[in-house]
């Protein structure tokens, strides 16, 4: 694959041939990773206007998502309206901001067209899960067809799921081929590879799966579907970021990161941003390279920002998602 120009100022990851020697001998010190993750909260004390600025940035990096069995066009339209204007007007005025939008809206493939209509002219991209989300237990040709369908409907980003069994038995060549085929099916749409880290058993497997996904051309690597028993955690995220850093050092490509599932509060939004800043630097605090897959935290972020502006906490019911 040839590198293509990126609207974000850096070359899109085109992948490399499978190179198991980049990851086969990796060792992950789990207690050390846990200690490092636990220490992050104390490394940066974010208060007052600094905290407000980081919370606004979290909104800019959020994939506002609905993946419910009873989703409808109307529900998606309401969610898209929230993506266009995630903060109440009086909060924007109090913060001195003209407008804020979320990083994307994420829906099932059959609702992509509804989201595209609702977001027309906003600049907010539509993302779609695909490939038999959340388990991925479908024949590969059907998973690829689902990607193509979502892209044809207007999805600019595709969140694919990998076959966890390939990781658990160490079949890296099959995993690489599967992800590379998905990347090709995405075409110009950016691909986020969901590793479902809660199903991968060890942090070593998390590192290895991260590296294979990037070698196969993933634009982002993502922790979870949000449907596993254990979703995004800071130690898992730390291991994935170390893989991102190692891949970037070897290839020069910047690959994005998306934690998803289990994050519900403004405090969580701050913790993951601190992790990004400490491990990868300021470039990874933009929606081009960082997304938060946690719609439920938006209500708490809006509540915290209202407190900053007015000095009072509003009822959570005043900040419904849609």
Question: Catalytic positions, please?
Answer: 159, 222, 258
Q: Could you give the CA distance from residue 301 to residue 187 in angstroms, rounded to a whole number? A: 35
Helical packing angle, 234-251 and 266-280, nearest 10°: 30
The total of other beta-carbon atoms located within 10 Å of residue 17's CB is 8
DSSP tag of 313 = P
314 Cβ contact partners less than 8 Å away, ≥ 6 residues apart = 303, 306, 307
Residue 294 vs residues 115, 150, 173, 305: alpha-carbon distances, Å:
18, 21, 32, 17
Where would I find the H helices in the chain?
A: 30-43, 48-60, 73-84, 89-95, 112-118, 140-153, 164-168, 172-186, 203-215, 234-251, 266-280, 297-310
**DSSP string over 92-106:** HHHHT-S----SEEE
User: 130: closest CA among 215, 75, 189?
Assistant: 189
The DSSP bridge partners found for residue 106 are 65, 127
Q: Do 233 and 195 meet the contact criterion of CB atoms below 8 Å apart? A: no
Helix (H, G, I), strand (E, B) or coil at 199: helix
The DSSP 8-state label assigned to residue 157 in this structure reads: E
d(CA 320, CA 322) in angstroms, rounded, equals 6
Give yes or no for a contact between 276 and 290, defined as CB atoms under 8 angstroms apart: yes
Instruction: Copy the structure tokens of residue 156.
Output: 């600019």
| CA dist., res. 156 & res. 118, Å (int) | 14
């Amino acid at each position: 694959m040839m590198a293509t120009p990126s609207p974000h100022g850096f070359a899109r990851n085109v992948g490399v041939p499978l190179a198991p020697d980049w990851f086969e001998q990796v060792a992950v010190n789990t207690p050390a990773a846990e200690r490092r993750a636990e220490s992050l909260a104390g490394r940066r004390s974010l208060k007052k206007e600094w905290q407000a600025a980081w919370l606004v940035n979290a909104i800019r990096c959020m994939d506002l998502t609905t993946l419910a069995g009873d989703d409808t066009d109307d529900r998606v339209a309401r969610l898209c309206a929230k993506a266009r204007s995630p903060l109440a007007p009086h909060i924007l005025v109090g913060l001195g901001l003209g407008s804020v939008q979320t990083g994307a809206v994420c829906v099932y493939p059959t609702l992509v067209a509804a989201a595209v209509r609702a977001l027309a002219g906003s600049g907010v991209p539509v993302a779609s899960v695909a490939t038999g989300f959340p388990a991925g237990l479908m024949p590969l040709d059907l998973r690829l067809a689902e990607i193509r369908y979502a892209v044809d409907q207007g999805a600019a980003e595709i969140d694919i799921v990998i076959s966890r069994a390939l990781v658990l038995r160490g079949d890296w060549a099959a995993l690489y081929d599967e992800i590379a085929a998905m990347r090709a099916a995405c075409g110009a749409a950016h691909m986020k590879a969901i590793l479902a880290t809660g199903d991968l058993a060890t942090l070593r497997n998390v590192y290895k799966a991260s590296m294979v996904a990037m070698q196969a051309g993933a634009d982002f690597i993502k922790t979870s579907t949000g449907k596993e028993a254990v979703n995004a955690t800071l130690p898992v995220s730390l291991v994935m970021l170390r893989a991102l850093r190692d891949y970037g050092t070897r290839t020069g490509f910047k690959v994005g990161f998306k934690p998803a599932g289990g994050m519900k509060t403004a405090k969580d939004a701050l913790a993951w941003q601190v992790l990004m800043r400490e491990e990868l630097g300021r470039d990874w605090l933009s929606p081009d390279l960082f997304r938060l897959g946690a719609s439920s935290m938006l209500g708490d972020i809006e509540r915290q920002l209202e407190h900053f502006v007015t000095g009072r906490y509003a009822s959570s019911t005043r900040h419904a998602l849609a």
